[in-house]
Each structure stands twice: as structure tokens, then as C-alpha cells.
A and B are shown apart, each in its own frame.
Chain A
Amino acid sequence: MSAKTLMRGTHVLGEAAIRSGCRAYFGYPITPQNELPEYMASSFAKMDDAVFVQAESELASINMVIGASATGARVMTSSSSPGISLKQEGISYLAAMELPAVIVNMMRGGPGLGNIAPAQGDYFQATKGGGHGDYRLIVLAPAYGQEIADMTRQAFDLADKYRTPVMILGDGMMGQMMEPVVFPDPLDVSKFPVKDWALTGAKGRPSRIIRSLWLDPPKEEELNWRLVRKYEAISQEITDQEIYLCDDAEIVVVAYGTAARIAKGAVHRVRSQGIKAGLFRPKTLWPFPGEVLASMSKNLEHIVVFEMSTGQMVEDVRLYVEGRCPVSFYGRPGGVVSTPEEIAGVLSGVGSGLIKKSA
């Protein structure tokens, strides 16, 4: 363990990646995540076994990720919303070629060029298959500096374990905010298990092919079903959430990432007004912890979904809650960051309704 250090989110992510054995980073500048490639560039410059390339585009960088991953390395790229759109092609290929990689999206306002303020408008893109074809992306949503460090380690481990790309979905605020963090000890790259599929040159073994093209439909179908079985295992094994003050809760806010931190502040505020509120925070956005939420929802009066978007995750919430309780949505898109007071106002509006009803 490292000593407790005060670091901004992007730097936490970079340091955690290096300690997780990441030895390759390929990226292209875009605000608000530039401190991450900058951290990788300066850290890798001091290491003799690590590769940093500033590519000519996001397209090129995700394809360099494909190449580096094919050799068996732990590899990462990062960007923000518009840049992540450009990486979708490569992410689809990574999924199909079953190559591990970690992709960081520090979301900003959109669509289009949008702005550089923190937002959560890429939930659909991240969780519903932003690229073409039948695939899923593991999406981890940290909310705290410490969690950025822990989830980065987890992201690399999951990517290797399941041979699949993993996204860390943050936002501009999370990337900039400085928080105290304790890092896990660095992993010894030389002790990583040998990947028996990696391309290293066919020395003393038959040549290998890493591909996504299966012209014969039954073969492509086989790949699709194999991926589905993998995704089912992932859903069984890694789904995770934070459940906060929900034991006696009548109203639960569902929010992730930065929005969840704001919501947590709001929960404290309305509790002091006598409203029994809690927070449900998905830590994995895909797989979505819908079963847990569904069983909770039976005992709730109301769910309020709060997102820094016009409403994306709310669709998944409604899908799992299936009308067991009312689900409302409150969103602030475009890079507007709500205050806990604002969300408390929303909750007390709902909550005072509940108080009246039960009176």
C-alpha cells in the first residue's frame, strides 16, 4: 500500500494503471482528460518497459491498443465523449477479437462538440454497444478518488480474465477533483501468467491468428453465442452497487458517478428534514445491478433517478423496477452540475408528498 496521497482523478487513474501492470498507453488529446495522457507520458518516460504514443487520432490510438493488446500487454487508452465516439469502431473489434483493454471515458457535455464540462450523456453509448454488432462492454463507474484507484486495478484484471474491453466511465469533474488516495502495491509484470493466445512470433509453436472475420455464418453465430455465454458469466460474477441508507428508506435516489455524490449530499439533507431517503449507486453500469434494485423496489414508495443527462440510465431502472414503485427522473444535461441542495429540493418535493400521503 502507498501512503495516503492527494491527487486529481486523472492522475489517480494513471498511477493505478501503472501499478496494475499497464505498460502501454495510446491516446489523443481532448479536454477534460488531458492530465491522464500527460501523466502516462511523464511516468512512462522514466520506465524502460513502457510505451507511450500520442497518436494522430482517436481512431489510430484505439487501433494501436488492438495491436499492443494482441501481443499480450496490459494496455489503456483514454478520451472524452467526442473522442470515445471515434473509438467505437475499435471497441467493437476488441470485443470480437476477444482482446483485453481498458478504455477511459471522462464524459463531457454533448452531443456534437458540446462543451468541456462534466456530464453523463454517454451512458447509452457505453452500456448498449456504442459500436456495431452484438457485443457488450464492461462499464465501471467510480465515484470517489479511492474508487478510481481500485476500479482501475479491477478493470485491468477483468479485461484479462474475460478477454474483453472494459470501460471506466467518469466525467470531467471526477478527473479534475483532488482527493486522498491509498494505492495498492504495484504488480510485478514479469509474474503475469503467459497469455497462450498472444501474438509474439511463432517460435516453437504453430502460428496464431487474432481475427474477427468469420465469413461462414454458422461460425460467426458460434462467436456470437460464445460471447453471450461470456457476458452471462460476467453478469453473474461482477455486478456491483453501493446501497446507502436504504434499510428504512421510502425514497431511493438512483445515481452513479459524480451525480451519486451529489445525491448522497441531498440524502443527508432531506434525512435531517425527516424524509426517509437512501441512495442506490450502480458501480457496474454494465452489467447493471438491476436484480438487486428490483427486489429493493418492492418496499419503496418512490425511486428518483438523477443523472447529468436528459435521462438514459432511467430506462434501465424502469426496466428492472417494472412498475413495483413509481420512478421519476431528474436530470441536468449539458455540463450543468447540480448542487446537493437542488437535488434535496427534488427529494423533499417527492418526500413531502409521501409524508402527506401517509399522514
Chain B
Amino acid sequence: MKKVFSRPKSLKDVPFHYCPGCGHSVIHRLVCEVIDELGIQDKTIGVPPAGCAVLAYNYFDVDMCEAPHGRAAAVATGIKRMLPDRVVFTYQGDGDIAAIGTAETIHAANRGERVTCIFVNNAVYGMTGGQMAPTTIPGQVTTTSPGGRIPLRDGNPLDLSAMLALAAGSVFIERTTVINPKGVNRTKKAIKKAFQTQIEDKGFSLVEVLSPCPTNWKMSPAESVNWVEETMSKIFPIQVIKDVA
């Protein structure tokens, strides 16, 4: 029989440190599959976040530059401006990109930086132990919203992707999931388009992926998948948010 599915070349052959059922590693794999398919492993430079994916450089077999928490879009700007023919991407969680890094991200989009952000939204601060995130949905229990998030007290979930779509410099923004095969395929397609948008020098691109965090949601992996489908995606609808690429 012929091997029809295996690990992409640009994904290092090491075990992931992520928890069982975590979406991060699926998204890592998809980014690497896209890098392989576009043949850009030797010209891609990645910027990981602070958060669970801070160790992304242990997995992506491309040049990687760490960034302080939230500042990935600024670091990526510095890299891309110096090396405009390289492919530069950031990989960030919701706390990183939509709380502490909001300004850096919005202004990178507004300048139309030719970078691609992979925004992994799991509605919680994962690495620090499950605190409320900017994307935590109303009623969601976290360690810092123990009775559930109350919008009048704790604020509302922030739709960063929609905000970024308002920036004239952003050209492609899509929200997807990795909770089922269809979602995985769509996410890969979106990532590929986002990278191509950058390669074609069109402007800022971002893919927001709704991603399960069973550990901090205190759910089984299967329950997490259902929660994304039934609850989280009602607040963050799966859709192309902007496409003028």
C-alpha cells in the first residue's frame, strides 16, 4: 500500500508538548503542510508568541524569532521590512494577539504589512492556567471569572478579526476551526491563501482558528469539539471576514 498521509517535511519529527486534544499541534501541522506545498521552507521566518505556543520553534523547521508577549506583529514587521522577499508569519494565541498585542496587530494590519498572522483562539489563557481571555465568551467559567464571564463586569468577547478587517491594509481574514476534518481542510486552505496573499505582496493576512483547549475548559477532547461547534462558533462565526486579495 502507498503512504497517503504522513508528517510534513517542515514539521520537526519530535513529539508535541501540547495537552491531549489541543488544537495547536493540528494548526502547526497545517502551517507546515502549506510551507511544504508552496516550497518556501528555506525562505520562511516565523515569530512565535508568549503562551502555550512559545515553543513553536521546537516544531517548525524554519528560522524562528521569539517575540515578547503580544509583540509578534511588530517583530514580524522588523523582519519583513528588512527581508521583503521572505515569507514572514506570526503564530499567536488570543491573549497574545487580542489583549496585550492589540495595538501592534491593528497597526501592522493598518500599515498593510506583508505578513501573515495565525491567530489561535481558544477563549482562554492556556499557558498561565486558564484565566479569562479577551475572547472568553459570556458565561464561560475560567479561573478569573469563576462564576462565568459577566459582560457588564468583565467586558465582552473581543472580535479582533472583525476589527482588523476595518483596517485598509488588511486584505484577507478568515475564521475557521480545526474541530473536524472539514474544518481542518478549510483551515489549511485559508492558511495557504493567507501565505499566497503575502507572497503576492497584496497586504496583511490573518487566519483565526477556533481551537479546543480541553485542559483549561475542563472538558474531554470530544466535549471540547462540541463546545466549539455549539457555543463558541455562535459568538465567533466561521466565515471569511475579509477578502479583497
A203 near B57 with CB under 8 A, answer: no
Q: Is the CB of B45 within 8 A of A93?
A: no
A199 and B79 contact, CB distance less than 8 A:
yes
Minimum distance in angstroms from A56 CB to a CB of chain B: 4
- Chain A residues near B104 (CB-CB < 8 A): 56, 59-60, 63
**B189 CB–A CB distance under 8 Å:** no
Is A112 engaged at the interface, CB distance under 8 Å to the other chain?
Answer: no
| Range class of the A interface residue count | 35 or more
**Using a Cβ–Cβ cut-off of 8 Å, how many residues does chain B contribute to the interface with A?**
35
Known: A60-B103, A201-B43, A201-B44. A53 touches B63 (CB 8 A): no
Question: Which residues on the B side are within 8 Å of A213 (C-beta)?
Answer: 54-55, 66
User: Which A residues touch B79, using CB under 8 A?
Assistant: 67-68, 70-71, 199
Asked if A347 CB lies within 8 Å of chain B CBs, one says: no
Identity of the chain A residue whose Cβ is nearest the Cβ of B61 in the assembled complex: A207
- Tell me what chain A mostly uses at the interface: helix, strand, loop, or mixed: mixed
Cβ-based interface call for B145 (8 A):
no
Q: Is A26 on the interface with B (CB-CB < 8 A)? A: yes
B120 within 8 A of A: no
Closest chain A CB from B126 CB (angstroms): 15
Contact B42 A66 (CB under 8 A): no
- Let me know if A71 and B82 touch, CB within 8 A: yes
> What are 15 A-B residue pairs whose CB atoms fall within 8 Å in the complex?
A55-B74, A55-B107, A60-B103, A63-B104, A64-B74, A67-B67, A70-B65, A71-B78, A71-B79, A73-B82, A199-B45, A200-B83, A201-B45, A204-B42, A207-B62
Given A89-B68, A97-B66: A53 and B82 within 8 A (CB)? Answer: no
Residues in B with CB closer than 8 Å to A57 are 103
Pick the most buried of A63, A66, A208: most chain B CB atoms within 10 A of its CB: A63
B71 touches A199 (CB 8 A): no
* Residue of B with least CB distance to A52: B81
A37: interface (CB < 8 Å):
no
Q: What is the CA–CA distance of A278 and B144 in the complex, to the nearest angstrom?
A: 61
Interface residue B75 (Cβ < 8 Å from any Cβ of A): yes
Q: Which of B61, B78, B107 contacts A65 (CB 8 A)?
A: B78
Given contacts A199-B63, A201-B86, A213-B66, whether A63 and B78 have CB atoms under 8 Å apart is yes
